[in-house]
Amino acid sequence: MTKYDLVGATGCATGVAHTFMAEEALEKAAQKLGYTIKIETHGQTGIENKLSPEEIKDAKAVIIASDIDVGTDRFAGKRLVMVPVARGVKDPDALVKKALTAPIYKEGQTAKGENEASATQTQNFGNKIYTSLMNGVSHMLPFVVAGGVLTAISFFWGIDSANPKSSEYNQIAAMLNTVGGTTMNLMAPVLGAYIAEAFTQRTGFVVGLAAGFVTFNGGGGFLGAIVAGYLAAIVVTLLQKLFKPLPDNKFRGLKSIFLLPVLGVLITGSIMFMLNTPIKVINVGLMNWLRGFENTNPALLGIIIGVMCASDFGGPINKAAYVTGTVLLAQGNYYFMAGVSAACIAPPLATGFAVLFNPKAYSNSERAAGYVNFLLGSTHITEGAIPFAAKHPLWNIPAFMIGSAIASVLTYITRITVPAPHGGFIVLPLVNKPFLWVLWILIGSVVSGALLALIAGRFAKKEQLATENVTASVSNNGEVSADESFDPSEILELKNIQVNVDVASRNDALHYLADFAERNGLANDSEKVYDSYLNREKEGSTGMTDGFAIPHAQSSAITKSSMIVLKLKNPVEWQSLDGQKIDTVISFLIPQVDSNVHLQYLSNTAKLLTHQEFITQLKNAKSPDEIMALFKN
């Protein structure tokens, strides 16, 4: 059996995109840092790559990037870091490093200061509240989608086709309406059941399910289901502590089959029965408030929904808007969901338009992803926009928000209805104004796409200017044209490539380069080389984008024209073009009498760093041999 340095688990509320994006990001980060890793995924199709007890035992540490419960008790005794799934997508490198020094989970916990322990406990409790809620939402959504779509299909025969007293009545429509409505009605019980299950496993599931039905029958709705879930978890936890003195070897069956479920359902159900009236009042008040927005200020509602749906692309803020739409949908309100769906469909379509508007600003892989997003967006899968948003988030996310808000505002103003909670353009036959709805979504997508294209072009131009600055700065007249015949690998030797170099700052890296050059016989005075590096940085930082820097020194102390490649153990500040820290250094040593020729090598290397495929391969390379082969090929 393969042994892994790290193991982990990922899961998101929908189990469609974030789960597997976090898996891929963590695997790439571990590989880049020289570790082996296995990730267990909790998606809508079930658990994949399930971790065995032996794999967990052999691992040095555990990473959980999940919005749902993935069963943490099995990781007791291991170093463990637990974060929302979005962190796994956005910051995988830091998670890998953090896991290896994280506290031991449960048994054998490392000693720590009182304040630190308190803060950790608060953070873990807050994370548990969040993951349990997402656990409930994750298991609830398939019921909502299946029930909502079947109910919507029943309307093909007429809005009253399920009513036996109506002239539109149809038996097939009535059957579909009954099946769909029954499935939709399971939303609240299932939500309550899986919130409680995240805390107290099977017994919590039973008590939460029963309490969810009680609140559903009493009109508590979605809000009541949340209260029922957490109340069930509290009651079952207290009962478990109450009966803990009973020995398991004699009373395990009695506790699990009789005492805990019977008393749990009795206590939780009774409390929910009494709470139903105030919860119903609050629930009805919230729904009426939202309905009031639809009628009095649809533009403001559209802006709010557009911003929410495009803020985290399938994350908790997006899901808050979506779940609200499904709740109103179950109550017969088909207007709210129309705006939510429009706001969710627009971002991925926008990426497709962006790569069409400005293809030169995107790499081949980005263009391919943009084209695929036309399909994903059309089926209401928002997560395809995440890689584009993550590239320049402070610029791109507002651009997505603008397009989503436009699509949502226009949808609300024109009173479009969508009776299905998912499906995108697949459910167009069920939309009251299908062509107008598609038009509003396309307008919002085109606006966002144009903004994204302008932003990408702006950054591409800055990268090009940076490349020209790097290549021209060592020239006397500043005008150099690259020649493809000057292959950088011609002046790169295997001994001049190092990985996992441990430096703390830019100047430390430059000192290391100068000393390294003298040790390898490339220069005879490391101090002069270091001064040359510093003088070059004073003219303008050699930090580029994507974590690269190309420092170069020209000095009489340099005895041999050479190229040095360092991959740093930890990224360092360098004043790069996009504000990122630098983790890869490509340096040129240029003899005083031989500058013109080596400008060509420098220029061609800088141009290589504008190609995403080359960047990705260099980032993933773990050894000098791999780096050497990459430059040669």
> DSSP 3-state assignment of 117?
helix
320: left (phi over 0), alpha (psi -120 to 50) or beta: alpha
Which uninterrupted H or E stretch holds 510? helix 506-519
Cβ contact 505:572 at 8 Å: yes
Distances (CA, A) of 532 to 509, 557, 558, 561, 566: 14, 10, 10, 15, 18
Distances (CA, A) of 34 to 4, 93, 273, 569: 12, 11, 56, 10
Helix ranges (H only) for 155-259 are 171-185, 187-217, 221-242, 248-254
Task: Give φ, ψ of 174 to 5 degrees.
Answer: -65, -40
> DSSP 3-state assignment of 69?
coil
For the record, the structure tokens of 343 come out as 């706001």
As a whole number of angstroms, the distance between CA 349 and CA 599 comes to: 42
> How is residue 384 annotated by DSSP?
G
Distances (CA, A) of 168 to 154, 155, 184, 498: 11, 10, 23, 76
As a whole number of angstroms, the distance between CA 611 and CA 479 comes to: 23
Chain mean position to CA 367 = 20
Give me the residues paired with residue 64 across strands. 9, 82
Q: Which residues contact 483 (CB under 8 A, 6 or more apart)?
A: 600, 604
- Per the annotation, the verdict on 12 as an active-site residue is yes
Chain mean position to CA 90 = 6
Cβ contact 195:160 at 8 Å: no
Q: Which residues contact 393 (CB under 8 A, 6 or more apart)?
A: none
Distances (CA, A) of 112 to 102, 104, 119: 12, 11, 11
Give me the residues paired with residue 498 across strands. 566
What SS3 string covers 425-487? HHHHHHCCCHHHHHHHHHHHHHHHHHHHHHHHHHHHHHHHHHHHHHHHCCCCCCCCCCCCCCC
Cβ contact 534:510 at 8 Å: yes
The catalytic position among 6, 9, 12, 599 is 12
Task: Give φ, ψ of 236 to 5 degrees.
Answer: -65, -40
Which uninterrupted H or E stretch holds 566? strand 562-572
Q: Which residues contact 357 (CB under 8 A, 6 or more apart)?
A: 449, 450, 453
**Residues with active-site annotation:** 12
